[in-house]
Amino acid sequence: MTVTASTETTTATDPAAGSVALEYSEDGFTATLILDRASKLNTLTVPLLRRLRERILEVSASRARLLVLRTAGEKVFCVGADINQFSVLEPAPMWREWIETGHQAFDALARLRQPSIAIVDGLAVGGGFELALACDFRVIADEARVALPEVGLGTVPGWGGTERATELVGRARAKELVLTRRQLGGAEAVAWGLATAHAPKERLGEEVARLSQEILAGAPIAVQLAKQIIDAAADGAPSRVLEALAGGLTSATADLAEGVAAFRDKRAPNFTDH
């Protein structure tokens, strides 16, 4: 796939600080975020989290219809927070800077209007797994492992893991995941409902491409509205109100007219995001 790329690091002088690259497919429909702090197992820091949020907001403002999130390195997706940095913080900075910054970044990802796919190709634990959980879909390698092991360190998941895991697998399974620090492989993660698909690492690209094509085949405005009203329904918003509003909005789009015409003509629709 041909891409255009935009890459910046959190600091110009220290490569170990990491970077968040943003690439677009040639048609502009797929944005790819690449978090790279591979020399430190892609551990997350406050500057890196801030840069991640900035990049997510750039995607939101773009014409992209889908976000793919991946990390650099061979065996590790992300092992979470940089312990050397957060373990020395006093309670107030821990609350104001570390926890809040992580929530801002991950919430921006979860609330992104475009659907998002995380490619979990290696170990994803703690904040690394919480990062993946903030995406709409997770495609995971059979060889990968995911876990929320924070209680074994003396703390708790701090970037939305308890909430998002509970939404996906229910209260009892979320407690099992967190309290026992259980690690799940790719097939187990799918069986639990924590991931969408699994495959050997060398075939992850095929699974991501398949899922991406299925999402991109839908009318962009309708796809993005559907994502938002599903999330709102999960938070208790009434579907009879939101579906009426969203349906009314889509009724005025050129894409609905195109979709109806394509159905009648028995052809694939050509959606234009209008």
Residue 60, judged by CB atoms within 10 A of its CB (0-12, 13-18, 19+), counts as middle
pLDDT surpassing 90 at residue 144: yes
When pLDDT is averaged across residues 88-100 and rounded to a whole number, the result is 69
pLDDT surpassing 50 at residue 11: no
The 10s digit of each residue's pLDDT in 152-201 is 989 899 999 999 999 999 999 999 999 999 999 999 999 999 999 999 99
pLDDT surpassing 90 at residue 149: yes
The rounded mean pLDDT for the chain is: 89
Domains along the chain with CATH numbers: 3-216 (3.90.226.10), 220-265 (no CATH)
pLDDT surpassing 50 at residue 3: no
**Catalytic positions, please?**
130, 150
**Which has the minimum average pLDDT: 8-12, 75-79, 142-146?**
8-12
